[in-house]
Structure 1
Amino acid sequence: MLKFILKRLGSSILVLFGASILLFFLTVHSGDPLEDLRESQSNNRENLIATRTAFMNLDQPWYVRYWDWLKGVGGCVTGSCDLGTNRSGQPVGELLSLAAASTLRLVVLATVLAIIIGVAVGIITAIRQYSGLDYAVTFLIFLFFSLPVFWAAVILKEYLGIRFNDWIADPTLSWPALLLAALIAGLMLQAVMAGDAKRRLFTFATTAAFVVLVGWLLFAMDFWRNPRMGPIVQLLIGLAVAVGATIVVAGLRNRSVLKAALVTVALGMVGYYATYGLLMTNPSGLLLAGLGVLTILVAIVVGRLLGGFSKGSAVAVSIVTALLMGVAIVAEHLMNYWPTLLRMKPRPISVIGSGTPNMEGHFWVLFLDRGAQLVLPTILLTIISVATYSRYTRSSMLEVSRQDYIRTARAKGLGERQVILKHAFRNSLIPITTIMAFDFAGLIGGAVITEQVFGWKGMGELFATGLREVDPMPVMAFFLVTGTAAVLMNLVADVLYAVLDPRIRV
């Protein structure tokens, strides 16, 4: 396996080398970087031309400039990266670090959401093949997949940005909108749950009534401007996640898994009270990351100790329960500071930019502000990527479900849950892994249009500026990140293949 990985890594480096030469050559010869200065009527035009020529080494042949860039990149091995300067004399390395942090913040979240939603939708539609749900989801998926990115971005800015900001200033209950939301929720859930006509009608009516009741209560409590949760809501969330995850993964009859999930909920409530003061007085990103790692470790220990003969399932359910309870705890702290953000920033959802200039305040206020900046571009990238994941998951699940070993598993009397999750789903993940690996790198490159529409100062803006100004250094910095991401994610896919299918190791 190590020999195979090294071989793939070597070939990938050669591909990156060839592609970098081609990209540098095309960028350098795509226009005249001095065109704007040649047309200038400024008295110091010649000095400006000489300064830019020195910054960009325009007096050197393109291959000499490329060699200088390559030597600077080679210095990254020893920790002394030199990615050159742009035409204004700014170090590209500093620009790249800021742009990469901004874009990765967007792309990582969009990728995770797209994988979770897309794979879940793909499994459900594969199980319910040729049903009304399958046809409806297929229509929506192809609709999302064919949406022009710039058009969808404008629609999101109008309805989820501008109009939401107008509404949140004075939230009013719109009964037609609430009834429409209840109708859609009821139709979707009854389609997913299936069953006979009586069961479908009961599911639809119960869901619609629940949505109407909750919506009315939220308005009565002024939840949209003063949201709050509390320990009882936290406990209910934990219990709902624990029971739901147990049903999906192992079934309620598996008492060991259910016990591990419930113990995780109890420990989560202990953590809620133990960390409340700390997260209120001295929060930080490092603290949240440390608590997240600790949460996963505790969940693993609980699953291993109480899982019995189903340790793997118990660990999985415990981790899901612990993480979602952790997210709920963080959400409560964010809710506590939502009114503060509204006072500082009456229009919270930003439609332009990746951050509010000169924004200062408490950690949770800044957290909320940055999260609000992420909402619109994340939704856009997610709905586009969900189409790919759901279609590949559905087709892979259908192909695997027709295999002989699936029929054998059913003939042996295994439950449908075990057949789907332990046999069909794991083997169907092999082709999906390829899509997951390359989609991450693809989203970094594909976010160029999204970042342009939303004014996001990230990798897309760096790349577009370099092309527009015929400046190869920002373009090559963009290529360095996306190309390296493609190579690394390809290697990750190779390793995951061996984990999912042990035959590949041989």
Structure 2
Amino acid sequence: MFKYIAKRLGQSVLILLLGSLVLYVLVINSGDPLEDLRESNDPNRENRIQARIANMNLDLPWYTRYLTWLGGAARCVIGQCDLGTSRDGQSVTALVTQAASATLRLVIVATLAAIIIGITLGIVSAVRQYSGFDYGVTLMAFVFFSLPVFWFAVLLKHYAAIQFNDWLPAGQISLRTILISAAVIAFILQAALGGHWKRRLATFGVIFVIVGGVLFYMDAVEWLRRPAVGLPIYILAVIGLAVLVIVLTSGFKNPRVRNAVFATAGIAIVGYAVMRPTLMAERTDPETFRGATLLLLGCLVAGVVLAVLAGQLLGGFSRRQATGAAVVTSLFSSALAFADLMLSHWSGYLAVMPRPIPTIAAVTPNFYSTYWNHMIDTATHLILPTVALTAISIAAYTRYTRASMLDVLNQDYIRTARSKGIAERKVITRHALRNGLIPIATIVAFDFAGLIGGAVITETVFGWQGMGNLFRVGLEQVDPAPVMGFFLVTGSAAVLMNLVADLAYAILDPRITG
């Protein structure tokens, strides 16, 4: 494995070097960086030309400038990046640091959401092959795959932001909307769960009543303006999550996995009950914000470590499976706790931000408020661009996962497992899914790089000052420094994702390292 990783790292570094050289040459030959000054009538034109030549080192050969940039970029390994200056004399390192946090935050969230939703839909679609659900998912996948990102983003700005913000002050859900929404959700879920027509009808009726009741309750208490979750609902949600994880992994017949998962759920419930008052505390001093963030991350790490310990100590012969199931339970329990904290502060955020879904920028400029209001502000700015990027990626993940799962489900060893009487759940989750994910591991890397490219357009539509804006401005000004800063971050991230995908491929199929 070590030899394989070293080989992949060497190939990745070589790709970055060649890519940077090609991109640098293309940028410096794409136009004249002094064109705007040459056409200027400013009496100080010559001095400005000389200043720009000095900032961009235009008096040096191109290969000298490239090697200078390469030397500064190489120092990033020791934490001393020097990416030069832009044509206006600004530090590109500072510009990249600010822009990278916005873009990578957006792309990582979109990638994770697309992976979870797309793979889930692909698996269910493959299991329910040629059903109405399969046809519906296939149709929507092709529709979203064909959507131009910029057009879909504009639709989101109008319907999911402007009209939602106009509707939110009243916040009333009409009876017709409740009935239609409940019927649509019930129809989709009964198609996904499948079964004979009596079972489908019963499933439709139960889900219709539950969803309709929930929506009616939300309308009665104005839940969208004053959402309330609280510790009791959190406890029920974590228990339900633990049951779902057990069902999807080992089933209740394996006490080792069951005990590890329930122990992790118990730790999550007790830990959140103890830490919730501290985490809920309002912090208005910006100097304490960093400490609050570190506290949240510390709780997440502690939860994962305790989950690993629970899996190792209680897993017995099923230690590996128990550990994986416990870690999944811990991560999702942490996500539920974070969602509860955010929702608990939503009404306070609405008091200072009556139109909560923004259409431009990554954060609200000159916004001074409490810690949780800043967290909600950052999250709401992520919603629209994340949905725009995720919707396009979900289509690809759904189609690839469906095709991969169908290929695996037709293999002889799957038929053998079924003939032995193994439960269908175990056949899908334990035997088929692992092999079905092998091609998906490679696709993740390509999709991540594609999302970075799509983020250039998405950031333009939503007015984000991210890596896409840095890249666009650098090209327009024929300034290689910002463009190369964009390449260093996004190229390194794409290559790193490819390396992670190769490692995941090797874990899923150990023969590849042989």
Query: Is the deviation greater in 83-92 or in 401-410?
Result: 401-410
Question: Match of 2:159?
Answer: 159
| 1:188-211 per-position Cα deviation (integer Å, ceiling 9, x unaligned) | 011011111111111112111211
Question: Match of 1:491?
Answer: 499
Matched, 1:448 2:456: yes
After TM superposition, the structure 1 = structure 2 runs for residues 86-125 of structure 1, keeping only pairs within 5 Å, are 86-125=86-125
Query: Is the deviation greater in 379-388 or in 366-375?
Result: 379-388
Provide closer, same or farther for how the CA distance between residues 467 and 326 of structure 1 changes in structure 2, counting only shifts above 3 A: same
| 1:222-262 per-position Cα deviation (integer Å, ceiling 9, x unaligned) | 21111111221111111211112222222234344334333
In structure 1, C-alpha distance between the alignment counterparts of 2:429 and 2:186, rounded to whole Å: 26
In structure 2, C-alpha distance between the alignment counterparts of 1:323 and 1:296, rounded to whole Å: 7
TM-score, scaled to structure 1: 0.96
Question: Match of 1:407?
Answer: 415
Question: Match of 1:416?
Answer: 424
Question: Match of 1:391?
Answer: 399
What do you get for the CA RMSD once the two structures are aligned? 1.7
Amino acid at match of 2:197: A
In structure 2, C-alpha distance between the alignment counterparts of 1:91 and 1:191, rounded to whole Å: 56
After TM superposition, the structure 1 = structure 2 runs for residues 184-199 of structure 1, keeping only pairs within 5 Å, are 184-199=184-199
Matched, 1:133 2:130: no
Question: Match of 1:333?
Answer: 341
Provide closer, same or farther for how the CA distance between residues 413 and 198 of structure 1 changes in structure 2, counting only shifts above 3 A: closer
TM-superposed deviation, 1:265: 2.8
Amino acid at match of 2:476: R
In structure 2, C-alpha distance between the alignment counterparts of 1:13 and 1:331, rounded to whole Å: 39
Matched, 1:382 2:390: yes
Query: Is the deviation greater in 354-363 or in 261-270?
Result: 261-270
Amino acid at match of 1:116: I
Provide closer, same or farther for how the CA distance between residues 348 and 244 of structure 1 changes in structure 2, counting only shifts above 3 A: same
After TM superposition, the structure 1 = structure 2 runs for residues 264-343 of structure 1, keeping only pairs within 5 Å, are 264-281=264-281, 284-343=292-351
TM-superposed deviation, 1:359: 1.1
Retained in 1: the 8 A contact 2:4–2:513? no
TM-score, scaled to structure 2: 0.94
TM-superposed deviation, 1:78: 4.0
Query: Is the deviation greater in 307-316 or in 203-212?
Result: 307-316
Query: Is the deviation greater in 304-313 or in 358-367?
Result: 304-313
- Between the two proteins, the alignment pairs up a number of residues equal to 506
Question: Match of 2:288?
Answer: none
In structure 2, C-alpha distance between the alignment counterparts of 1:257 and 1:7, rounded to whole Å: 37
In structure 1, C-alpha distance between the alignment counterparts of 2:8 and 2:336, rounded to whole Å: 42
Report the secondary structure of 2:129's partner residue.
coil
In structure 2, C-alpha distance between the alignment counterparts of 1:148 and 1:501, rounded to whole Å: 36
In structure 1, C-alpha distance between the alignment counterparts of 2:459 and 2:137, rounded to whole Å: 28
Retained in 2: the 8 A contact 1:9–1:487? no
Question: Match of 1:57?
Answer: 57
Question: Match of 2:287?
Answer: none
TM-superposed deviation, 1:79: 3.5
Report the secondary structure of 2:360's partner residue.
coil
Query: Is the deviation greater in 10-19 or in 114-123?
Result: 10-19
Query: Is the deviation greater in 348-357 or in 56-65?
Result: 56-65
| 1:356-382 per-position Cα deviation (integer Å, ceiling 9, x unaligned) | 011112111100000000000111111
In structure 2, C-alpha distance between the alignment counterparts of 1:19 and 1:330, rounded to whole Å: 40
Question: Match of 2:211?
Answer: 211
Amino acid at match of 2:166: D
In structure 2, C-alpha distance between the alignment counterparts of 1:407 and 1:37, rounded to whole Å: 73
In structure 2, C-alpha distance between the alignment counterparts of 1:169 and 1:44, rounded to whole Å: 55
Report the secondary structure of 1:284's partner residue.
helix
Amino acid at match of 2:157: K
Amino acid at match of 2:371: F
